[in-house]
Chain A
Amino acid sequence: MCWIVFRHFSKILLLWRGVLLFVLLGVTATAERAHIAVASNFKPAVEELKRSFEEQTGHEIIISSGSTAKLYSQIRFGAPFDVFLSADHLHPQQLADENLAIRNSAATYAIGRLTLWSRSVEIANISELADTSIRRIAIATPLGAPYGVAAQEMLAYNGLDATVSDKLVVGESIGQAFAFVHSGNADIGIVSLSLVLQLNEGERGYRWDVPDGSYSPIEQQAILLLKGANNEAAETFLAYLISPEARDIIESYGYTTP
């Protein structure tokens, strides 16, 4: 019995030495790790950016995605994020006001575009949303989700907000609104173009890109958070995000860049 315990003990000791060695090596290496909070519309794009960034720099990126509003409130409550890729410019600015982010690090990395998207209905005109054959229109919540705010603005601009209000189903993020349409539960979604473009050609169904000018530009800003202030990986990633290479990637996901 004693012998068994001892054997295990020596095994544990060996394991600990391994862990210690690993930690020491990790500290001496220059590669760092940055934890990035990203609005769910940008998740597909950031996955690709992460791959090429990690390959080039050796830094490691960890991604958490969610609705802008949720990530914002998590950051306020001390979530361990180094960089925030918001779907708007308001939330990063607010974090800077609250001294939780470095104001002069804020940069617009993408300008989002809205599209009407359906898997079953061809859409030629915005007014078709009022058609009785359209039962459910998915949007992100206008309380907090930037694409939801833009969708609501666009409906109001076209004088449709009252007409279609009964048909709206509201996702907590643009990702959920997108899933409502993708799973066939909603006929049409007012979603971000980027989410539609990530699908295979065969799955894209029908879409009608909403003209600019019927909603305020969705300026997606990135900002360095206080927790990431001395994190080289975080700073390098922010710089990479506005590099020509990153821009090309971002544009291929249906955004425009400044």
Chain B
Amino acid sequence: MSIPDLTALWLTLRLATVTTILLLLIGTPLAWWLSQTKSRAKPFLEAVVALPLVLPPTVLGFYLLVAMSPNAPLGRVWMLATGDTLSFSFAGLVLGSMIYSLPFMVQPLQTAFETTGKSAMEAAASLGAAPIDAFFSVAAPLAARGFLTASVLSFAHTLGEFGVVLMIGGNIPDRTRVVSIEIYEHVETLNYSDANALSIILIGFSFIVLTAVYTFNRKQAVHVS
């Protein structure tokens, strides 16, 4: 087995990292709001967040392709701002991945906030902490496991992304040709040895990451109890 070109693998890791960080920034307030709100809009918002779980990637890919076209408002604004199309770009993939992996970030966080947030926040408030301070010094640390699970799942889910990228990526080396696309192309062109090598790397990597998370979660659980 020869060593395959790893460009696509690095690109995928970059995509998953950027996506996870941005999702943390957006998903945390969203999950917090969902965990605390008594609004009637909550079930609707929860449904919207969960949609990417049940929709086929083709639905997402199709609408993204339409929305990113310079004929559409989003695509036009992007084009004016950057001089480049949003489709076939790394930024485009990040946007697609963020939507695609949104439930994997929000749902574990929401669960974590719901189970640990309330009473602790009330205690912090009674001690005079401002809500933001209370969130960062009390609720967030208590939800550390939730953050870890959410980040790892979002990261891993983005690694495994295929359909959306196939539809909006354009297969450009070092920009949109992620590892799943590269493997697909190797299979199409009967280059099974490279497809195999990349797949094994991906399986090994994913296995190690998931095992690490489960191990960490178990240790944490022992400490807590």
Contact = CB atoms under 8 A, between A and B. Distances in A.
A136 interface: yes
A183 B190 CA distance: 31
B188 A185 contact: no
B8 to A, nearest CB: 13
B187 to A, nearest CB: 7
Interface string B50-91: 000000000000000110111110010000000011011000
B188 A70 contact: yes
A185 B65 contact: yes
Given A169-B171, A183-B66, A184-B70, A136 B188 contact: no
Q: How many A residues are at the interface, by size bracket?
A: 20 to 34
A194 interface: no
A75 B135 CA distance: 58
B46 interface: no
B84 A168 contact: no
Interface stretch (A6-14, A38-46, A138-146, A203-211): A138-146
Interface size class on chain B is 20 to 34
B170 interface: yes
B189 interface: yes
B187 A73 contact: yes
Contacts of A144: 185, 188-189
A186 to B, nearest CB: 8
Given A67-B188, A169-B171, A135 B166 contact: no
A168 B171 CA distance: 9
A219 interface: no
B46 to A, nearest CB: 31
A172 B85 CA distance: 19
B172 interface: yes
B84 A135 contact: yes
19 contacts: A67-B188, A69-B188, A135-B84, A136-B88, A136-B170, A144-B188, A144-B189, A168-B172, A169-B88, A171-B170, A172-B166, A179-B65, A180-B87, A180-B170, A183-B69, A185-B69, A186-B85, A186-B88, A186-B170
6 closest A-B pairs (Cβ-Cβ)? Answer: A169-B170, A184-B69, A170-B171, A184-B71, A185-B87, A69-B188
Given A135-B85, A169-B172, A171-B171, 16 more contacts: A73-B188, A73-B190, A135-B84, A141-B185, A141-B188, A143-B188, A144-B188, A169-B171, A170-B171, A172-B188, A179-B65, A183-B69, A184-B72, A184-B75, A185-B65, A185-B69
